[in-house]
Amino acid sequence: MAVSYNPAIFLIVSLLSISFTLTIAKADLIGDVCSKAQKPALCLSALNADPRSKGANLEGLATISIDISQKNAQTVRDLVNTLLKQATDPKLKTRYDSCLENYNDAVDDLGELPGFLKSKDYLGLNVHASAAFDGPTTCDDNFSETPPAESPQLKDASDKLQGLIDIILVISNLLKG
């Protein structure tokens, strides 16, 4: 008995197979990026929560990571501003004032990242993401040696922002090749 060959069915099966493979490859891209991140669970949660991630390439994931980091940095800066206004201890006020400067710098650095990404200046992207990462780190360092201690709310927010900016660093390193 002869087997009949239908080119239309072959074409449909081939296209579905390619589509399925591309979908898996995109999911693997997020997994690959996040496996290199300092906080893989945060990375997976942040990228998978954004509907633009589905089908995004590395540059698309960079855009998403930048957007998330910018929003988060502004939120943390607002938190620092609130803590500064509520502080009564002069030493604490000085530390929060310094932190506010650090977060203003981080927000500014993050604001420059879309331009570097658009121009495919991945080294510049990496350098400015590193500078943005320094903002929350430097703020945390203000509290490391002597009391008064850093607010747990600020410490958690700082850790999250560092984890989000780290995603940009991972992607920029992958883009640099």
- Confidence (pLDDT) at 177: 85
pLDDT at 17 exceeding the cut of 90:
no
- Confidence (pLDDT) at 121: 98
The two structure tokens encoding residue 44: 């997976």
- Confidence (pLDDT) at 27: 53
Confidence (pTM): 0.84
State phi, psi for 99 to the nearest 5 degrees. Answer: -65, -40
- Confidence (pLDDT) at 16: 36
| Cβ-contact 77, 103 below 8 angstroms | yes
Instruction: Give the model confidence (pLDDT) of 47-96 as tens digits.
Output: 999 999 999 999 999 999 999 999 999 999 999 999 999 999 999 999 99
Mean pLDDT value across residues 144-159: 95
Question: Quick count: other Cβ atoms within 10 Å of Cβ 87?
Answer: 17
DSSP string, 45-114: HHHHHSGGGTT--HHHHHHHHHHHHHHHHHHHHHHHHHHHHH--SHHHHHHHHHHHHHHHHHHHHHHHHH
Q: Which of 154, 129, 153 is nearest to 141 (CA)?
A: 154
pLDDT at 123 exceeding the cut of 70:
yes
CATH of domain 28-176: 1.20.140.40
| Cβ-contact 83, 151 below 8 angstroms | yes
- 3 state DSSP class of 147: coil
